[in-house]
Structure 1
Amino acid sequence: MTTSKLRERLEAEARALGFAAVGVARADATPKTAERLRAWLEDGAHGDMIWMAETAERRGSPAALWPEVRSVISLGMSYAPGRDPLALAGEPDHGRISVYAQGADYHDTVKKALKALARWLVAEAGCELKVFVDTAPVMEKPLAEAAGLGWQGKHTNLVSRKDGSWLFLGAIYTTLDLGADTLEEDSQHRVHCGSCTACLDACPTGAFPAPFRLDARRCISYLTIEHKGPIPLELREAIGNRIYGCDDCLAVCPWNRFADAARRNQAFLPRAELVAPALADLLALDDAGFRQVFAGSPIKRIGRDRMVRNAAIAAGNSGNSGYVPRLQELSVDPDPVVAEAASWALRKLENEALSPVGRGLGEGAPRWRESA
């Protein structure tokens, strides 16, 4: 079978398995990745993500991870939202969960499809390969850019002409020589972003020191998901009601007007209880309740304590003194980070209660919303 024919059949099989985008890059197609990663790490911009530094050498290039690799098959699975990701910005009694985490755990869904595609490729072409999604030391975004899936925008995330900012990425490293697709962007100027700075301007915490550079230590996604300790005081008000991740820089990208929710993999349809969870319910979670609510969700990995920490900060930002009784209980929580966040929220609400503006949480307190 010719390489072009194999590539044609590979793309068809990938789409049948639920991938919206597929492309191929040579294993040596991203020579600047290691240098850029090293500079980012030296700046300390990775924060508490120590695994980024520990795996930097293997992460720097595909061959450093697996010397036998010749081609990288890059794949994207759409999770394009069917509603405005910023719709809850004005509803302080509801927590905002990033679009990517409102459906099934993408690790499971993407890896299952990658393994199925890998089995097909081995049967068709008789090669060695490895599959990766997110948790391995792989730089998926530069590889996806090299494979023609899109380009890394000024917010550092991949942007696609067809799927906007809403692609889960996976990769298959193979010993096959499959050629290479055409780069989607001008490697020097990122011409598809042009002079637009919408993503940079939208960041509530100023996490972009420059275009194409992210300081994770100021990123709400990092702070609410990866960071285990107390969230810096100066960033708490800017977090607002975001209790898991942040979509602001993605949601405002003009290229999203071309993203079609019909291309979304059905596994990522939002679960009703995760679209607009009530802060009152989140603050009441114990370990068992957390596991029950977030079973099958990527959110489950942060655990109850981080979720309640995040919800306490959102409650402090809500202006709603009705949360005071529960926050008082949480201020002596066994987890010191939860207790500190609740104490901060109490002080903030009590100070605001001294002003003419204030409101209570009455009998009509919002519960888990039942519609997506």
Structure 2
Amino acid sequence: MTFLRTLAIAVGMAASCAAFAHADGVDSINPDVAKRLYNPDMLDPAQPVAASPLQDFKAKNPPPWKIGYASSYAGNTWRAGAMDELQNEIIPKWKELGLISDVVITQSNLSDSTQIQQMRQLVDQGVDAIFVCCSNPTALNQTVQYAYDKGVPVFSMTGYLTAPSAMNSSVNYQVAGFEIGKRLAEELGGEGNVLIVEGIPGTSGSDSQDRGVKAGLATAPGIKIVGSVAGMWTDQIAQGEVQKWLATHPGKLDAIAVQSAAEMGVLRALKQSGRTGVKVTVGGELGALCTWRKNPDLIDAAVQTWPPGDDVQLIWDVMMRTLQGQGPKIQSVLVDPVVLTYEDVAKILPEDCDENSQAWLNVGKDNWGSQAYLNDFFMKPADPTAYKP
């Protein structure tokens, strides 16, 4: 399949991205990547991009390492996909390599206080590193410092933590959101009414992508945002919220801009309401991609912003490299979104695909933080699977 990379997306939003001021950490990475993904005009203003304080980090113990995963939520298909990759691919592989002994998993169900308590318990139980997912960007900061002071680095995937010692990895959500919004505006011919379905407001990934979507839509003055609901990255919740919105807003609706994982719920809500001809942005849920496969006019392209297996592989590689002493240059490792055309999806999915599938499309390591790409983010890069203490 052909994956179309998103490159100079900032055209039309920023006057110029040829030169800009940025943090010291960005100076040390590939200039093309810095211009594309770390340009302040296209970067969440709170995204940590200073030089990483873990450049000289040394793991407190030799491998095999004990890892903690302090998950904040388990209630959607994306989390299930990430957990499947972790338990069935990553853990067996790295145990066989002799580099990890165990992964201790906790779930906090969107409670910051519970996640804080669980992270402290993981530190006290002797883990060598902790990674988290999609958490509040500031609430965990004192706990991250507590872990750091005890020699336990903390890593955040699909969203950032603002603690100075935390390492982060994700797509640039503002760039991805801008791509989604701008493409949708163009597909509508520059005018129309759009409903926005956010993820979980208050989390960095959701807020960054929402900011980007609105900026992309704003490139066409004829686009009107007629409402916004929180889908909570969960199909069932998004379906209910969109159904309620549609029932109380009978006016013309041209499109819905959705954050995954919620597009299947949105599609069901539209079907139940009897609304037709509404464009719906599509992410990585296979059920939604299948609906697009069977309905080519649904949208022109799908923007992949968080393939779950690829996201957990990305933070795992960043974490293993750091434990091995490779020295991360910068606090946040950002990657490009990946755009799929209808032709790409037609090659991936058969005509008789399942519109109710809860699985996700992963675009693969070569498209989401390849070894060569990650090498540029470390002082002493090496293949982490070949590590010999």
TM-score, normalization: structure 1?
Answer: 0.26
TM (normalized to structure 2)?
0.25
Structure 1 or 2: more helix by fraction: 1
